[in-house]
Amino acid sequence: LTSNLCRAYLSLPNTSLSQWRKGDNEQQQVDSKQQFMRVLLDEYATDINEVSSTMKAMQSHSSFTDKTIRRLRDLCTPQYERTFQYILHTANDDLGVAFMVKLRQE
């Protein structure tokens, strides 16, 4: 599955989203990239509200224990980081590395 995901993303043209011009096929490819990025941001990014409420609770209770600090650190780590680590370790033929490099470029 991870190799297929990497191959699908890598099969899209190397042009960044900001350089695309709207055409039928090009628009579909841009929409695919935009949708992928939107899912990453909406579903797998850091939950700012949760971080904020945890910080307020810690401050109001002066509760800076190792457990609460670990909790805050976990909340500040985007979920997609774990997903990307999984992709890097499970994709075949260096697809994971190529996927991460291309994603970072964009």
Give 43-83 pLDDT, tens digit per residue: 888 999 999 998 898 888 887 888 888 989 999 998 888 88
Tell me how far apart the alpha carbons of residues 85 and 68 are, in angstroms, rounded to a whole number.
24
Nearest-5° angle of CA 23, CA 28, CA 33?
120
DSSP 89: H
pLDDT confidence bin for 29, thresholds 50/70/90? low
The whole-chain average pLDDT of the chain stands at 79
The tokens for 9 are 């993303």
Tell me how far apart the alpha carbons of residues 74 and 70 are, in angstroms, rounded to a whole number.
6
pLDDT confidence bin for 101, thresholds 50/70/90? confident
Tell me how far apart the alpha carbons of residues 106 and 99 are, in angstroms, rounded to a whole number.
11
Task: Give residue 10's Cα distance to chain centre.
Answer: 16
Q: What is the mean pLDDT of residues 83-96?
A: 82
